[in-house]
Structure 1
Amino acid sequence: MMLKLTEFAPQESPSDDVVTLPYDARQKSRLLSKTDSGIKIGMSLPRGQVLRQGFVLTGSDHFRVRINAAPEALSIVRTEDALQFARACYHLGNRHVALQILPGELRFLTDHVLDQMLVGLGLTVTHDVLPFEPEHGAYHGHGH
């Protein structure tokens, strides 16, 4: 048996299970997966949505599944220099890189070419495995 998840439930809804997905999978509108407890699920959602940490999905059977962001290999740049920070954001954004922007810190999916570009700008790049929650796109609707 497979649960079909077709709509968003209010985020404050309690969940019956959790599915942990990497960023790439959270961008898909159609996806087959398993919850963390092993239940098969099929997602069929409106196109253009990115599933964010904490979103709750449901279907006609009202079973609710909370989205969890999976830990992924990330490149991390930290600087208190506002000009360096802005330059790094500019160059990564110009390449349409999904960025998680935090105070004085940028995170993106590890890419050694991008790492070298940032080192060339005078920044230090470190690596870690963490959940990845990039910025929402400026032109995407978020109706839930």
Structure 2
Amino acid sequence: MIHAREVRTKAAGFEAADTITLDESQRHRRRMAMVSDGGIAFLLDLPETVRLGEGDGLLLDDGRVLRVVARPEPLYVVRGQNATHLLTLAWHLGNRHQAAQIFSDHVLIRREPVLRSMLEGLGALVEEIEAAFDPEGGAYGGPAGQVHGQGHSHGGHSHGVSGGHDH
């Protein structure tokens, strides 16, 4: 079986032989049997758990690279009435251990009706979207792009919800 033991970052640049479309939880793995969008079966076999970002590449041991595509997921865009209100809403989400992708004017979270009710009860504006989800990685630092106690970086990712929805 073909193995993928190395990640190429989007910034490194590479020519992709195929793509693999994964949701957020599938992009946070160390070892798993996978199949690319074009049918290439391989074993993801990384030395440690890594959060794969949109546009990163998986280097197969035969030299081909598969470009990672973030699968859109059902999310809420949460907006506050002002910056302080948004921080308060983010605190409530963190207090409930909710994965969140944080921007200067909104927060993205997975859809959960109970959370929507709570947030709207606190005065939030909540909108449903389908978009790629790349939540914060955790509180313990380490190299960018790694998680499970090893940090996370947004490194220029576009969120596409300031106006139109380009996810």
* TM-score where L is the length of structure 2: 0.77
Contact 2:9 2:55 in 1 (8 A): no
Aligned to 1:46: 47
Distance 1:50 1:37 in 2: 22
The structure, 1 or 2, with the larger RCO (C-alpha pairs under 8 Å, 6+ apart) is 1
**Alpha-carbon shift at residue 103 of structure 1 (Å):** 2.9
**Alpha-carbon shift at residue 85 of structure 1 (Å):** 0.5
Aligned to 1:3: 2
Q: Say if 2:128 is the partner of 1:127.
A: yes
Instruction: Provide, for residues 111-140 of structure 1, a one-character-per-residue CA deviation record: whole Å limited to 9, x for no partner.
Output: 112212211211121111111122233425
Aligned AA (1:57): L
Aligned to 1:14: 15
Aligned AA (1:33): M
Distance 1:96 1:69 in 2: 23
Alignment identity in percent? 34
Is the deviation greater in 33-42 or in 67-76? 33-42
Aligned to 1:37: 38
**Alpha-carbon shift at residue 49 of structure 1 (Å):** 1.5
* TM-score where L is the length of structure 1: 0.87
Gaps of 5+ in 1: none
Aligned to 2:152: none
Contact 1:19 1:34 in 2 (8 A): yes
**Alpha-carbon shift at residue 40 of structure 1 (Å):** 1.5
Contact 1:48 1:140 in 2 (8 A): no
**Alpha-carbon shift at residue 10 of structure 1 (Å):** 4.3
Distance 1:118 1:143 in 2: 30
**How many residue pairs get matched?**
143
Matched ranges for 1:1-144 at <5 A: 2-11=1-10, 12-79=13-80, 81-142=82-143
Alpha carbon RMSD of aligned pairs, Å? 1.9
Distance 1:106 1:64 in 2: 32
SS of equivalent to 2:48: coil
Instruction: Provide, for residues 80-118 of structure 1, a one-character-per-residue CA deviation record: whole Å limited to 9, x for no partner.
Output: 501110011111122222211223111111111221221
Instruction: Provide, for residues 46-94 of structure 1, a one-character-per-residue CA deviation record: whole Å limited to 9, x for no partner.
Output: 3332111111111321111111110000011123501110011111122
Contact 1:21 1:70 in 2 (8 A): yes
Gaps of 5+ in 2: 146-167
Runs of 4+, deviation exceeding 2 Å:
135-138, 140-144
Contact 1:75 1:109 in 2 (8 A): yes
